Amino acid sequence: MKFTFDSLANGNAPEAQITVYDDDRKPLVLGVAQQLGRTGAGGSVYEIPTAPEFCVKLFKPQDLADNTKRKHILSVLEMMLEMPECARNPNLAWPFGLVYDKEHSMIGYAMRRIPKGYVPFKTVFGGAMSVKREFPTMGRKELAKAARNFVETLDFLESVGVRPTDFNPENFMLNERGEVRFLDCDSYMIYSRSGKAMTGDMYFPDCAAPELLRNPKSLCAPRTLEQTSFSAAVLSFMLVMTGQHPYSFVGAQDGTTTGTPSENIIAGKCPLGKGAGCRQDPRWYALWSWLTSGLQVAFITTFRDGHANPSLRTPLAALAAELGKFVYECGRLPERNDLSPKISKPREAGIQPTPMAFPTRGYAYALHPRMAHPQYGTRQPAHRPHGYGDRTSNFGCNYRPFGGRQYR
């Protein structure tokens, strides 16, 4: 489909220094003064003066001057433009048209601009005070909504053959209602129609699966669904725990934090649950105790059982379902919605968390054709709880095709 600036808006742009062109060679003037505050590693982002709900990303000149990089960028963008379902998803800053210089050479693309009121996940990872400083009315319920919307958007991307690779918390944004937005979508792993994975080596150590950290060479290989599930669980945990990392623990003697999160991920040192062999920081225990037992087990299953065995990691749809239950409970019990509870949740006599049983054999779902395995085709062993259906149907946790309306 041809991309023209007329499809965005009409009007006169203010004086500026940068001019870009659409498919019809129609110029659009971008003001240097309109450069947005956040500049990604791959280039600079500018607002469109005549269409404030959209923006333009321009790649770095040195990347475009490198023929190999330029071909890779163009190949990825061409595949992304063939995926209108992603462009329609309001959660994604997805390309919907290329922009060119005066020689009609590609220099960037147009995309939907992130509305005002959104901040990076990292902004609320400094404890309850950081949340209240940014969003005074936000409770734990809205953080859980953000985590659920985040996981469901990942599940949507998985259904169309796309996997994020860089889970830097600055690449994902949320607002006070728990709605989310994904940035830097041009760095995602995308399967071409021929089945070839277009991917890069971008990653964030504190959110990466242990097998990736142990073997850096595997970063250039296609990422797996289980690796996405691991990273999704890390960021979801940090959202509902206001920044506490699941692999952060303290020493038994001095009570100080031991090791970095990435070092502890490699070593498998997770303090959650009984028999962990290391101790959670007591300051965070009350917050952890008010999570629903199902959500606690979902996290423990991924971080401890799934550390050495990726097939045991909680699937995206199952994690979204447990986060949804926690959202409901936060609305029902004020203590669960409290960002800094004074006391831990009392133990319920005779009630023990029920382990989640995810079948690891004999249960298959239809993969997106672009993600077909060369040996198994589009039918692969799936690690989804029974009842969530397959990729061709809606899941049992109110999964919405194309993103749909978010929970409010």
Are residues 224 and 360 both part of a single domain?
Answer: yes
Q: For residue 239, what are the domain limits? A: 119-381
Beta strands in 327-394 (DSSP E): 364-366, 379-381
Label residue 401 by pLDDT band (50, 70, 90).
Answer: very low
Answer whether residue 278 is part of any domain: yes
Q: What average pLDDT does range 106-113 have in this prediction?
A: 93
Give yes or no for residue 372 having a pLDDT over 90.
no
Answer whether residue 386 is part of any domain: no
Residue 391 confidence (pLDDT): 34
> Measuring CA to CA, which residue among 120, 138, 121 is closest to residue 129?
138
Are residues 334 and 224 both part of a single domain?
Answer: yes
Give yes or no for residue 333 having a pLDDT over 50.
yes
Are residues 91 and 161 both part of a single domain?
Answer: no
- The better pLDDT of the pair 261, 257 is held by 261
The rounded distance, in Å, linking the Cα atoms of 222 and 196 is 9
Are residues 38 and 148 both part of a single domain?
Answer: no
Distance of CA 230 to the CA centre of its chain: 11
- The percentage of residues in the chain with a pLDDT greater than 90, rounded to a whole number, is 56
Q: Are strands 106-112 and 27-30 parallel, antiparallel or unpaired?
A: unpaired
Answer whether residue 401 is part of any domain: no
> Measuring CA to CA, which residue among 191, 32, 204, 185 is closest to residue 112?
185
Are residues 50 and 99 both part of a single domain?
Answer: yes
Q: What average pLDDT does range 121-126 have in this prediction?
A: 96
Domain count of the chain?
2
Kindly tell me the number of DSSP H helices and DSSP E strands found in the chain.
13, 16
Q: Which of 112, 140, 166 is the last residue of a domain?
A: 112
Answer whether residue 145 is part of any domain: yes
Label residue 221 by pLDDT band (50, 70, 90).
Answer: confident
Label residue 255 by pLDDT band (50, 70, 90).
Answer: low
Are residues 127 and 217 both part of a single domain?
Answer: yes
The rounded distance, in Å, linking the Cα atoms of 22 and 2 is 9
- The better pLDDT of the pair 71, 368 is held by 71
Are residues 107 and 126 both part of a single domain?
Answer: no
Are residues 240 and 168 both part of a single domain?
Answer: yes
Answer whether residue 210 is part of any domain: yes
Yes or no: say if 118 and 175 are a contact pair by the CB < 8 Å rule: yes
Residue 256 confidence (pLDDT): 61
* CATH code assigned at 228: 1.10.510.10
Give yes or no for residue 210 having a pLDDT over 90.
yes
Are residues 100 and 191 both part of a single domain?
Answer: no
Answer whether residue 365 is part of any domain: yes
- The better pLDDT of the pair 360, 195 is held by 195
Q: Which of 112, 139, 170 is the last residue of a domain?
A: 112
Residue 19: in which H helix or E strand, if any?
strand 18-21
Residue 400 confidence (pLDDT): 36
* CATH code assigned at 22: 3.30.200.20
Q: Which of 53, 84, 112 is the last residue of a domain?
A: 112
The rounded distance, in Å, linking the Cα atoms of 293 and 291 is 6
Label residue 6 by pLDDT band (50, 70, 90).
Answer: low
Residue 387 confidence (pLDDT): 32
Which residues make Cβ contacts (< 8 Å) with residue 318, sequence separation at least 6?
Answer: 298, 356, 358, 384, 385, 388, 397
pTM value > 0.85: no
3-state SS, residue 23: coil
Give yes or no for residue 180 having a pLDDT over 70.
yes
- Annotate 88-121 with three-state secondary structure: CCCCECCEEEEEECCCCCEEEEEEECCCCCCEEH
- The better pLDDT of the pair 407, 216 is held by 216
Query: Over the range 232-245, which residues count as b (16 or more CB within 10 Å of their CB) and which as e?
Result: bbbbbbbbbbbbbb
Are residues 94 and 177 both part of a single domain?
Answer: no
Q: Which amino acid is located at 43 in the chain?
A: G
Give the residue ranges of DSSP H helices in 306-368. Answer: 306-308, 316-332, 334-337
Label residue 254 by pLDDT band (50, 70, 90).
Answer: low
Helix, strand, coil share of the chain (percent; to 5):
40, 15, 45
Yes or no: say if 118 and 283 are a contact pair by the CB < 8 Å rule: no
Mean pLDDT over each residue of the chain, to the nearest integer: 81
Answer whether residue 408 is part of any domain: no
Answer whether residue 406 is part of any domain: no
Are residues 165 and 273 both part of a single domain?
Answer: yes
Evaluated on CA atoms 206, 371, 89, 233, the torsion sign reads negative
Residue 32 confidence (pLDDT): 61
- The better pLDDT of the pair 219, 94 is held by 94
Residue 51 confidence (pLDDT): 83
The rounded distance, in Å, linking the Cα atoms of 124 and 223 is 28
| Sheet of strand 172-174: strand arrangement | 119-120, 172-174, 180-182
Are residues 126 and 106 both part of a single domain?
Answer: no
pLDDT digit string (tens) for 148-162? 999 999 999 999 999
